[in-house]
Structure 1
Amino acid sequence: MRKSLIVITCILFFMSLKSEAKTEPNIVFEVSFTEPQAHYADVKMEINNLSGNELILKMPVWAPGSYLVREFPKNVEAFYAKAGAEALASEKITKNAWKVNVRGKKSITVNYRVYCFEISVRTSFVDESHAFLSPTGIFMYPDGGINQASIVRIIPAKNWKKVSTGLDSYGDQAFTYYAPNFDWLFDSPIEVGNQDIFEFTAAGVMHEVAMVGGGNYDKAQLKIDMARVVERETAVFGENPNKRYVFIVHNYKTGGGGLEHLNSTVLGASRDGYKDRETYQSFLALVAHEYFHLWNVKRLRPMALGPFNYDAENYTTNLWIAEGFTAYYDNLITQRAGIYTPNEWLNIIESDINAVENRLGNKTQSLSEASFDAWIKAYRPNENSANTTVSYYNKGSLIACLLDLAIINASDAKLSLDDAMRFAYNEYYKKKNRGYSDAEFKAILEKYTKQNLDDFYKRYINGTEDLPFAKYLNYAGFQLMVQDADQQKPYLGISLSKDNDSQIATVSRNTAAWIAGLNVNDEIIAINGERVSNALDYVNGLKELKELDFLINRDGILKSIKVQLKPSASKKYSIRQIENPTEKQKAVLEKWLSL
């Protein structure tokens, strides 16, 4: 694509986010469900005012906010095109593109079916009870026509009576909606069925909550608690960019995860977990996480994340900001809303410190590398991932925590990370209508921390050094306690398969098992000539470090491997308040916890 065209596309993309003017669309979709029990959505696409002899239609291969090429076109079948009753020749020309021989026709209709049977917040699912349409895997767009408006008409299956979506209604027709462009359509999930819907108003915005799958939730309490989260997050940025917002909540026996959208989100939850305090708190933290993305990612964003290339990966080294900072704020906001106590929130930070510092991959992969390689590593973990990767979620959250404390301390408790985020939002989304570069976001952090962050970035963002928790926690009157593992307690360094207590699932780097050469998928038959059903139970029962003789089955061949046990290299980190904090430390703590 030519540079001038990229610039024009970028301008049109962001103009479309702020524009509410409805143009008469040339594209009309109709989605119906003739065989919901077989998990199909039937799509009809009417395209008008065409010119030329060929039309290329594309389907995205990934969903923004979920950084993995998921190859959505793999679920498409029965593609055909016609003009009136006349069939038009068509062919698939790439993995996600179809060419139609229009032959000068001004209007054509394209039909295709999509198989929808993957349960997640980013993939479509249809059965006899409901349909969830994740738009990037449902709707096609004309190549080069991403800015075209469209109408979407939903034809619910028999006995389905409701549709929930962030799209605006169009005209007086039931279940008919308008998308000003395909970026907006692809960012507007659709729930169809008999979901339980309730509403609340917060920050001047009407919020719809569509609960799917039942559950023991208390609607009255959810309205109160979700409104508190919304109000607290809106206060960070000083404005709420929506007039209406939709939560689509899928309740399962066990569920979790979420995906943010421009004026909606999709959440996974445990159907019967709402009465359990910790599970309920975690759900509200998930609400806070996805809602915070309204600003951080959907509007304030790295340059690479919009306008999107829907054909391939969109690389950025800044997911530690986009997701990590959001992960910091989800728990912080939940604490500000009174859902977590300050001590519970500190325990979460403590837990993140232990998770990051004891992950071997933390010494191998930097935060910027973790962000860039999300497309091939974060969403495709294997048996060696713990040795080679770090999460940009919890480590990015810890970086946000340190920078927040640095800003509060440098400003004598007058400012916080909130002020830096608000400034960035106003500067790059509202004023410049574009994303930020690495250098530009770093400059904002330097402005508010009042320090040059070259060394900080070199060591902790682009490097793999231990994060300086002790220094930054001390600003708020805390100290970090570090306790080594018991040096006499034997540690093998493996995990076992969930389905087979005799089979090795992972081997941790530089542990006894790693050094001796035990492998993933080895079946442990005996230790020191004794038949064992669970090697970890055996080793944990030992009182001293010793050499063991493992008899294993590796691909049908019996092997004897000697393993010299070692102690674990892991550490236990805990946060403790210091005695006699200074007045400044007290002020920093108050600002940090009680904004």
Structure 2
Amino acid sequence: MKPVIPSILTLSLLFSLSAQAEVQYRIDLNQSQHHLAQVEVSFPQSSAEQLEVQLPVWRTGKYQVLPLADGVRFFTAKDDKGNVLPVTRTASGEWQVALSQPTSVSISYQLYLNKLGQRVGHIDASHAFLDASGTFVYSPEFRYEPIEVEMSVPSNWQSHSGMDSGEEAHTFVADNYDVLVDSPIETGVNQLRRFSADGRDYELVIWGEGNYDIEKMVTDLTKLSGEADAIWDGYPFERYVYMVHATSGASGATEHLNSTIIQRPRFSYREREDYLGFIKTASHEFIHTWNVKAYRPQGLVPYDYQDENISELLWIAEGSTSYFQSQLLLRAGVITAKEFLDDLAKRIARSEVTPGREVQSVAEASANQWASSRGDYAINHSTNIYSEGFLVSLALDFSLLDETDLEHSYRDVHKALYRDHKIPLGYDVEDVQNILKELTDEDYSTWWQRHVNAPLTLDFPDLLSQAGLKIGHGEDSKAVAYSGMTVEGSSLKLKQVLRDGPAWNAGIVLGDEIVAINGLKVTASGFESRIKDFKPGAEVKVTLFSDDKLKSVVMTLGEKQSGKLTLESVKKPSRSQKAFFKAWSGIDWPFDKKGKLKSND
């Protein structure tokens, strides 16, 4: 049979239909000082009786339903002849456009964006940060069609995105809405630096003034970006954009397809501790480019933008990312061994004072993430997919190293997930357990039940000794009294009462206001030191207001170690312990013969 060769006329028709299928977005940002923009969206011809138009109810990276459509006003629809079409609002982020005949549809609306800290969009006189989830509506009918974004902006603005640039200035193109929603745009007055690492192109875009050193940022981001092969074989991108907001009143970060947005207070870069906060965040979001964006749990594949996306494996998506962030920085030489160990020590210390770790498993915390909350109840009855997921990842890493005589680690699990479960496949619990069996020839179902499906209980001294480490509290540490409650700022109203702690067991509850201890007035600033006046086990009389009623209770003080938790070298570490440390961390044993960290750290 002869091959069918399309005629020039057929090819022209196909090209024409393809061109018509493009969804075109236009946004006017010339009146941005009041956080306002005008948006127009042109959808291709639809033959349906109605066109569904939607704005997501959540944004990627934040597993929480948000009121993203609350800034949309003057929503109108027109057909290809300019006639106004009937529109019905069917949900907070959904509209139905009635169609009497096949036609293309143009949507227009005014947009108010002033959600800088939530990273769903922000417009002002100096810039616009546009996350499509809070900016651009889509139609499920055309979700997978090519898109183009055209922006009208002030003449001195520069525009950047992980998307490819269009033919005209301030335009971007993408294969579909999924790419658009995961490729935020930063346009405005900003600084740009370009660099490369391991054959990939990178950009650092900073909006806002502050005490940052942009050249140091470039140097360290270059080192970080070149360290990806410590975990994965290959890259899911050719170009990557680090976007930074140096601002006031906002902090946090969000991962995207081949970019990230990092927000830090403008004067939080100079001091080493502050800078570590920035570079660790950058590492976290960079890792997400693989872990979440290139592969993720099946409950999030594909994204459902109009509903919750439930998965009991979010601890891998987030907690394992937190676990790897300092490892990459250590291997890259951006942080020291001391800084690496201090970070781990803080996480262990935080877990030890979180009663919720005894109540909720990391799998349950993952599935519950969309309904999670903060505050007194959360710390007492819940765990956190980031912090607890970090510790489960640590336990799994050490188990793999031990079972395989240091041949395989948790990095190999993520290497396999990237190799075999790229989007759109996704992965489930069975997939992860199969990878573990392939690496170790052991069945990890019992381990999984004990560490993932049940509240995590780790013997940290025993675990850490495998890597030649032990827990300490400093040379001057001693046993001191503690109450298990925390006052709120400058007042003596309680903001936290730890479950089964001294205050909890005495009947003291959240919201109570402390007045006196043993009949003597106390102040907020002197509350902790007053508690330390007593010995552990002492009984004290606490006078307080509870629901505006004065009462007194007797509280038996507990015991804790003074000083911060530290990780130190065991006495006379063995060769196997040193080898374990290197296989785990990627660096040589950092302590000298006296157990002190070497001078370069």
TM-score normalized by structure 2?
0.88
Residue matched to 2:511? 521
Q: Distance in 2 between matches of 1:579 and 1:568?
A: 27
Q: Name which of 132, 135, 140 aligns with 2:129.
A: 132
Q: Deviations over 1:72-121 (max 9, x none)?
A: 12222221112344222212012221111232251222111222112225
- SS where residue 231 of structure 2 aligns? helix
Structure 1, unmatched stretches of 5+, are 1-21
- SS where residue 576 of structure 1 aligns? strand
- Report the AA paired with residue 421 of structure 2: Y
By how many angstroms is 1:529 displaced?
Answer: 4.7
Residue matched to 1:329? 324
Q: Name which of 211, 219, 227 aligns with 2:214.
A: 219
Q: Distance in 1 between matches of 2:514 and 2:465?
A: 47
2:68 is the counterpart of 1:68: no
Residue matched to 1:584? 576
Q: Distance in 1 between matches of 2:509 and 2:23?
A: 55
2:453 is the counterpart of 1:501: no
Confirm or deny: 8 A CA contact 2:477 2:561 kept in the other structure: no
Evaluate the alpha carbon distance shift between residue 515 and residue 180 of structure 1 in structure 2; reply closer, same or farther with a 3 A threshold. Answer: same
Residue matched to 2:405? 412
Q: How does 1:24-423 map to 2 (within 5 A)?
A: 25-83=21-79, 84-104=81-101, 106-120=103-117, 122-156=119-153, 158-170=154-166, 172-253=167-248, 256-377=251-372, 380-423=373-416
Q: Distance in 1 between matches of 2:540 and 2:409?
A: 54
Query: 4+ residue runs of structure 1 moved beyond 6 angstroms?
Result: 485-488, 569-572
By how many angstroms is 1:136 displaced?
Answer: 0.5
Confirm or deny: 8 A CA contact 1:406 1:472 kept in the other structure: no
Confirm or deny: 8 A CA contact 2:294 2:422 kept in the other structure: yes
Confirm or deny: 8 A CA contact 1:160 1:192 kept in the other structure: no
- SS where residue 429 of structure 1 aligns? coil
Evaluate the alpha carbon distance shift between residue 449 and residue 400 of structure 1 in structure 2; reply closer, same or farther with a 3 A threshold. Answer: farther
Confirm or deny: 8 A CA contact 2:295 2:417 kept in the other structure: yes
Residue matched to 2:431? 440
Q: Deviations over 1:303-358 (max 9, x none)?
A: 11220111111111111111111111100001111121123212211221111122
Evaluate the alpha carbon distance shift between residue 502 and residue 419 of structure 1 in structure 2; reply closer, same or farther with a 3 A threshold. Answer: closer
- Report the AA paired with residue 41 of structure 1: A
By how many angstroms is 1:429 displaced?
Answer: 1.5
The size of the alignment, in residue pairs, is 564
Evaluate the alpha carbon distance shift between residue 254 and residue 204 of structure 1 in structure 2; reply closer, same or farther with a 3 A threshold. Answer: farther
Residue matched to 2:567? 575
Which range moved further: 222-231 or 324-333? 222-231
Confirm or deny: 8 A CA contact 1:43 1:113 kept in the other structure: yes
Confirm or deny: 8 A CA contact 1:412 1:584 kept in the other structure: no
Q: Distance in 1 between matches of 2:229 and 2:143?
A: 30
- Report the AA paired with residue 62 of structure 1: W
2:450 is the counterpart of 1:459: yes
Q: Distance in 1 between matches of 2:449 and 2:102?
A: 59
Q: Deviations over 1:370-419 (max 9, x none)?
A: 11111111xx3133211111122122222222322333333333333222
Q: Distance in 2 between matches of 1:538 and 1:285?
A: 33
- Report the AA paired with residue 506 of structure 1: Q
Q: Distance in 1 between matches of 2:305 and 2:159?
A: 26
- SS where residue 462 of structure 1 aligns? coil
By how many angstroms is 1:573 displaced?
Answer: 5.1
Q: Distance in 2 between matches of 1:477 and 1:494?
A: 35
- SS where residue 45 of structure 2 aligns? coil
Q: Distance in 2 between matches of 1:416 and 1:67?
A: 29
2:463 is the counterpart of 1:472: yes
Q: Distance in 1 between matches of 2:539 and 2:385?
A: 38
Confirm or deny: 8 A CA contact 1:358 1:570 kept in the other structure: no
- SS where residue 304 of structure 1 aligns? helix
Evaluate the alpha carbon distance shift between residue 530 and residue 585 of structure 1 in structure 2; reply closer, same or farther with a 3 A threshold. Answer: closer
Confirm or deny: 8 A CA contact 1:407 1:417 kept in the other structure: yes
- Report the AA paired with residue 583 of structure 2: K
Evaluate the alpha carbon distance shift between residue 540 and residue 160 of structure 1 in structure 2; reply closer, same or farther with a 3 A threshold. Answer: farther
Percent identity among equivalent residues?
29
Evaluate the alpha carbon distance shift between residue 526 and residue 185 of structure 1 in structure 2; reply closer, same or farther with a 3 A threshold. Answer: same
Q: Distance in 2 between matches of 1:125 and 1:116?
A: 5
By how many angstroms is 1:553 displaced?
Answer: 5.5
Confirm or deny: 8 A CA contact 2:27 2:38 kept in the other structure: yes
Evaluate the alpha carbon distance shift between residue 503 and residue 86 of structure 1 in structure 2; reply closer, same or farther with a 3 A threshold. Answer: same
- SS where residue 80 of structure 1 aligns? strand
Q: Deviations over 1:11-64 (max 9, x none)?
A: xxxxxxxxxxx9664321111125422212221111232223321101110112
Which range moved further: 323-332 or 73-82? 73-82
Q: Distance in 2 between matches of 1:540 and 1:468?
A: 29
- Report the AA paired with residue 580 of structure 1: K
Q: Distance in 2 between matches of 1:208 and 1:465?
A: 40
Q: Distance in 1 between matches of 2:459 and 2:447?
A: 10
Q: Deviations over 1:114-160 (max 9, x none)?
A: 2211222532111111111111111111134321222111111x354
Q: Distance in 2 between matches of 1:492 and 1:486?
A: 18
TM-score normalized by structure 1?
0.88
Evaluate the alpha carbon distance shift between residue 558 and residue 405 of structure 1 in structure 2; reply closer, same or farther with a 3 A threshold. Answer: closer
Confirm or deny: 8 A CA contact 1:179 1:185 kept in the other structure: yes
Q: Distance in 2 between matches of 1:444 and 1:255?
A: 40
By how many angstroms is 1:489 displaced?
Answer: 4.2
- Report the AA paired with residue 193 of structure 2: F
Residue matched to 1:6? none
Confirm or deny: 8 A CA contact 2:44 2:105 kept in the other structure: yes
CA RMSD of aligned residues (A): 2.5
Evaluate the alpha carbon distance shift between residue 280 and residue 25 of structure 1 in structure 2; reply closer, same or farther with a 3 A threshold. Answer: farther
Q: Distance in 1 between matches of 2:539 and 2:576?
A: 52
- Report the AA paired with residue 371 of structure 1: S
Which range moved further: 305-314 or 438-447? 438-447
Confirm or deny: 8 A CA contact 1:526 1:552 kept in the other structure: no
Which range moved further: 302-311 or 531-540? 531-540
Confirm or deny: 8 A CA contact 1:491 1:565 kept in the other structure: no
Confirm or deny: 8 A CA contact 1:124 1:133 kept in the other structure: yes
Residue matched to 2:595? none
